[in-house]
Amino acid sequence: MNKRGHVLNAVLLSIGLGYVLDPSGDVSTFATIAEVFLPVVLGALFPDVDTAFGKHRKTLHNLPVLLIFLAHPVYHGGNLQWVWLGVVTHYVLDIVGSKRGIALFYPISSTEYGFPTGVTTSSDRAEAVTVAITLFELAAIAALVYVLPTYLPPQAAEIVANTTNVVV
């Protein structure tokens, strides 16, 4: 997926995430969108930095890199906690939305994983595919936030309750 696709994906995801976390639709929803917007867009653009150095779709397109971002909020907190989601959505878009795929297990393995159903980045269907994938991601996030907490251990449910407006 090209830069335009990743930005479109991140913008739509931020708006959707704002409504998932705070469905009221009033000022607080827009405050939530503003809060997640910058970190999600930053995270969504970050992996393609490896077009400038290293090996594209390998150096910054793998699970060890994602782990670094997942660990980051543990130490720093703030709204940077959403950068990892931007990185995840970038990976999903490259795997599902494009033919080539990414090297998830780099540097252990250079094999690139992608869905054969993906379209090339220059395809005129790329935007429709991006929107469809974003909607799927939002459905998955909504399920995680609203359905899963009832099955979570109390401590994990507390974290969800503290970071969202969802009453667990």
Interface ranges with Zn ion (CB under 5 A): 47-48, 94
What span, in angstroms and rounded, lies between the C-alpha atoms of 89 and 77?
20
Nearer to Zn ion, 29 or 61 (CB): 61
Residue pair 87/65 in contact (Cβ under 8 Å)? The answer is yes
Least Å distance between CB 121 and Zn ion?
A: 9
When the beta carbons of 47 and 86 are compared against Zn ion, the nearer one is 47
Least distance in Å: CB of 42 to Zn ion? 14
Closest CB to Zn ion among residues 5, 149: 5
Chain-centroid distance, C-alpha 164: 17
Contacts 24+ apart (CB under 8 A), 134-142: 134/8, 134/9, 134/12, 134/13, 134/16, 134/89, 135/16, 137/13, 137/89, 137/92, 138/13, 138/16, 138/17, 138/20, 141/16, 141/17, 141/20, 142/20
Distance of CA 109 to the CA centre of its chain: 23
CB 14 to Zn ion: min, Å: 18
Instruction: State the nearest-atom distance from the C-beta of 1 to Zn ion, in Å.
Output: 6
Q: Which is nearer to Zn ion, 123 or 164 (CB)?
A: 123
- Rounded to the nearest whole angstrom, what is the least distance from the CB of residue 44 to Zn ion in the complex? 9
Cα–Cα distance between 16 and 30 in angstroms, integer?
11
Nearer to Zn ion, 18 or 47 (CB): 47
Dist. CA 102–CA 61, nearest whole Å: 6
